[in-house]
Structure 1
């Protein structure tokens, strides 16, 4: 039997792709449903709830489990409860259960956030001994309006304050926990975001506080081939306010490993104690390796990138096809150099560890979009006014980002960073020295240093294994194996303290490092930097531990994304794709 991740809906084959995305509906393999209910249901009389039941894949598996435990088939229907927002799903669930000899279970059609365990509040289901299923996974962009507000209110009633940017699964797991009796068991499939996103910190702390024997099961291979997101299986025993703060981690290769059964899988797990508020990615590493690496970084005097400066997103034009242009487009429009700035509008433009003026000119000559329009009201005359008129004819003043500006064509926050930071990376993020003095759109971040003279040595130092490990821990793993780094996360990255000696050595090494990165030999570049940065402050064992931890997290991320890890591939980015971009322009302003 097939089910569906995040909202097991085999009936979802009747839904459009857009509708499926709005509902968070995907397919869940039966190996996962059977394993989850085998662990969660320990007695024939257990009451079971699936808060996103879809076509009842988990509930059908639960019924089979109850029969194994000796339950009276006539009593099972009264022990099963499910909720789903989709009418087709509820109808299919009832039909599937009836085929299995389970007529008239408690199936509620509606928004789970409006269902209560309190008899005095609207729709309700009784307290459960087992909470199983695959809650809807709807990103915050689609999880909105009344449904989002209801979810956030439900989580708050349970004592968990979640930010507005939370995806649907976060309040779901919190609200669902309120239906579980003390001593009851939870077995839910959740997005891998649980391990690392910032907004889930309150959920992670809630789980550690409310559950004992808390376990996460991860998979190196994709569980859902049709979905980009990683998933984990979370298990726990309800112990309100009495959780021991411990987390068992079971790292499996694939769903086939679940065939060993819950006892064997959990026995092979490793128990760790995550610090409150911290991400759980480090829990995937050997505890000795983590503590050893952190101790070594402290002794080596590593600081954060935020100690050295600030990280900002680039300029958000709202219409790259108008503001970013090639030399030919600029010349055809007769735009003067006074309103044109060199720009980086694609991460692919910065291939190495530095971006030079010569490279900018080379790309410009090749017809690439390397100019950005930077005009204010005082510039709106002659050819500039005619070009602005063209934008008005395109309807640009009505676009969201444009209509909030006065005048609409004056792009704010156009600055010249000391370095660029690639923030959507495959192998590793990179700092790139901005020798071309270009500005940037929001396809790459800009880094502004308190001491700009440290840009070159910092770009080299950034490829240190310890810094790249920090990036794997602080960043977010997205579909396709991509590592995303938001500015606030980048500020927490651990970087070497640049002593005069290191500044001299790293500056001298930058040409070699730059060449290795351009040749897609990231690992060799990292090893060269490690010899300079770590060689005198860490033992060989400590350096090896850091490299092993980096390899472990990177491999896990990339294997899930593509099935194969390609070593030493240059970072690349994807973000808004400009239609145009750059001529010969005035030097950019420094912030």
Structure 2
């Protein structure tokens, strides 16, 4: 059997599969129904369907299961109750999609999660054709699950239901935006089930969401709920709420984590502010293509006599915890701790007159075949890292745990692509921008506009950073603010201390309104960190 990562086989827990099967079968009153599971895996959904207590309500149930791994298909067949008419197909579902003209009452399952880079060219072409048939403009396939979902939309009967367990990125990433629009336009009613508990422990903390779409339904719209634990599903103690302001906008569906009142409250405040893009320019940091070779510690620089080629650099966000500035002494501390702090810049080295020390070091790289790496191959000389311009005024690290890191670059260091290089626009000061950034409203929108994944890590892309509302304020004493920030116990302490100064001054908010914003931010962070 192939590696799970390559085939995307992370199987749905049986208790969740049982709930989904039971919940969906309740919607059918017909004597005859047809069900398709496009990627059956080891058969949890097939077993949940064929052993469901509602089967005696139907005269005839046709269950089609498709699986490319024959051993898994055989396991699923063995788990099916003979009361259903089973049609088992040993095939890649993408091939089955084109050869099968049937429509189904219920399409159910957990599509594979496989990135485009792991797909064969033929699979990519099949995925694209499925997207194109549904009129999607974005032909690029980021992950195979999108083709499975779009295929299901194409193969469902007029009164049918689609129920898929999908990665949370459906709700929060840019490439899923067209898919979200397609879901809204295809179904009368959508139900979005989010989970406080991870459903797939072996999948590196991959958060998931259950989407149930009804082609026709008396109660139309998009409804959502957050499930605390599997017992809440089985006991049917959850409540589905409608969030019209989210459903009718182009916003990310992660905003469903908020109540309709909370969402409208934040959006009203955002509409009164300029976005970060008014105050800063930002671009990605330096991409070396081999950080462990081009970014080294002081010992490597000295040993290989490369001092003239070395430049100070910050490689990772956790090297700068707890401050709003990066100082020379911070850099020296990293050097003393033997962290990789020097970027090797060989752009000024004359290829025809390389020093012996540089030739020796380049041989280490060629022994590792670095010149064969994709990004190195794009360079005129593989060892010359491009885009090493001037150091930026500040940097913003794209990944964070407790809160995003936004620092003034007093050490004049370079930064890798783990961060964005930030420059203030004319008329604005970087100290004021950083001070203004750390308020509960901006940080709440960082949670909403960013995405999160394994371990509760928040990621904010350049476009998302530029789209954050910023209540621009003037800091009275940045040095004092810097010390307070550095000595804080946690970010809540800083927000409590400066929220009023920033949000009351710019928006005239009362203490009750500010406390409400902080409560929302805390809820979103707790949700991300699974607290």
**TM-score normalized by the length of structure 1:** 0.82
Q: Which position in structure 1 is the counterpart of 2:409?
A: 434
TM-superposition CA deviations, 1:299-353 (whole Å, max 9, x none): 3xx222222233222211122232222222222222243x221111122221211
Could you tell me whether the CA contact under 8 Å between 1:211 and 1:243 is conserved in 2? no
Distance 2:240 2:339 in 1: 54
Matches within 5 A, 1:488-499: 488-497=463-472
Distance 1:509 1:185, change over 3 A: farther
Identify the match of residue 64 of structure 2 among 78, 81, 93.
81
- Structure 2 residue 389 is matched with structure 1 residue 418: no
Matches within 5 A, 1:278-297: 278-297=251-270
Identify the match of residue 491 of structure 2 among 519, 522, 533.
522
TM superposition outliers: structure 1 runs of 4+ over 4 Å: 377-380
- Residue range with higher mean Cα deviation, 325-334 or 181-190: 325-334
Q: Which position in structure 2 is the counterpart of 1:212?
A: 188
Q: Which position in structure 1 is the counterpart of 2:313?
A: 343
TM-superposition CA deviations, 1:525-550 (whole Å, max 9, x none): 12223122112322223322321221
Q: What is the CA distance between 1:482 and its match in structure 2?
A: 0.7
Distance 2:329 2:46 in 1: 64
Identify the match of residue 114 of structure 1 among 81, 95, 111.
95
Identify the match of residue 140 of structure 1 among 116, 120, 133.
116
Could you tell me whether the CA contact under 8 Å between 2:142 and 2:175 is conserved in 1? yes
Q: Where does the alignment leave 5 or more consecutive residues of structure 1 unmatched? A: 1-14, 565-591
Q: Which position in structure 1 is the counterpart of 2:437?
A: 462
Q: What is the CA distance between 1:361 and its match in structure 2?
A: 2.0
Distance 1:252 1:280 in 2: 16
- Residue range with higher mean Cα deviation, 270-279 or 189-198: 270-279
Q: Which position in structure 2 is the counterpart of 1:447?
A: 422
Matches within 5 A, 1:378-417: 378-379=349-350, 381-382=354-355, 383-415=357-389, 416-417=391-392
Could you tell me whether the CA contact under 8 Å between 2:423 and 2:430 is conserved in 1? no
SS for the counterpart of 1:101 is coil
Distance 1:477 1:514 in 2: 25
SS for the counterpart of 2:263 is helix
SS for the counterpart of 1:166 is coil
Could you tell me whether the CA contact under 8 Å between 1:94 and 1:104 is conserved in 2? no
Q: What is the CA distance between 1:444 and its match in structure 2?
A: 2.3
- Structure 2 residue 98 is matched with structure 1 residue 94: no
Could you tell me whether the CA contact under 8 Å between 1:219 and 1:253 is conserved in 2? yes
Distance 1:234 1:390, change over 3 A: closer
Could you tell me whether the CA contact under 8 Å between 1:84 and 1:111 is conserved in 2? yes
Q: What is the CA distance between 1:390 and its match in structure 2?
A: 4.3
Q: Which position in structure 2 is the counterpart of 1:45?
A: 32
Could you tell me whether the CA contact under 8 Å between 2:500 and 2:511 is conserved in 1? no
Q: Where does the alignment leave 5 or more consecutive residues of structure 2 unmatched? A: none
Q: What is the CA distance between 1:397 and its match in structure 2?
A: 2.4
- Structure 2 residue 291 is matched with structure 1 residue 307: no
**TM-score normalized by the length of structure 2:** 0.91
Distance 2:95 2:175 in 1: 22
| Bigger relative contact order (CA 8 A; separation at least 6) | 1
Could you tell me whether the CA contact under 8 Å between 2:298 and 2:338 is conserved in 1? yes
TM-superposition CA deviations, 1:149-193 (whole Å, max 9, x none): 211210220222345252121121111111111121122111111
Could you tell me whether the CA contact under 8 Å between 2:192 and 2:209 is conserved in 1? yes
Instruction: State how many pairs are aligned.
Output: 519
TM-superposition CA deviations, 1:541-573 (whole Å, max 9, x none): 3322321221121111101xxxx4xxxxxxxxx
Q: What is the CA distance between 1:509 and its match in structure 2?
A: 4.8
Could you tell me whether the CA contact under 8 Å between 1:317 and 1:411 is conserved in 2? yes
Distance 1:103 1:208 in 2: 32
- Structure 2 residue 297 is matched with structure 1 residue 326: yes
- Structure 2 residue 50 is matched with structure 1 residue 33: no
Distance 1:546 1:164, change over 3 A: same
CA root-mean-square deviation: 2.5
Q: What is the CA distance between 1:443 and its match in structure 2?
A: 2.5
- Structure 2 residue 23 is matched with structure 1 residue 71: no
SS for the counterpart of 2:201 is coil
Distance 1:395 1:475 in 2: 36
TM-superposition CA deviations, 1:487-516 (whole Å, max 9, x none): 22222122223xxxx323363553234314
Distance 1:275 1:505, change over 3 A: farther
Q: What is the CA distance between 1:354 and its match in structure 2?
A: 0.7
Distance 1:59 1:272 in 2: 35
Matches within 5 A, 1:129-168: 129-168=105-144
TM-superposition CA deviations, 1:261-313 (whole Å, max 9, x none): 3xx53x553443423432111122011111112212333xx222222233222
Distance 2:373 2:291 in 1: 12
Q: What is the CA distance between 1:113 and its match in structure 2?
A: 2.2
Distance 1:445 1:533 in 2: 24
Q: Which position in structure 2 is the counterpart of 1:229?
A: 206
Identify the match of residue 46 of structure 2 among 47, 53, 59.
59
- Structure 2 residue 521 is matched with structure 1 residue 550: yes
Identify the match of residue 244 of structure 2 among 272, 276, 298.
272
Distance 1:397 1:56, change over 3 A: closer
Distance 2:384 2:427 in 1: 27
Q: Which position in structure 1 is the counterpart of 2:503?
A: 534
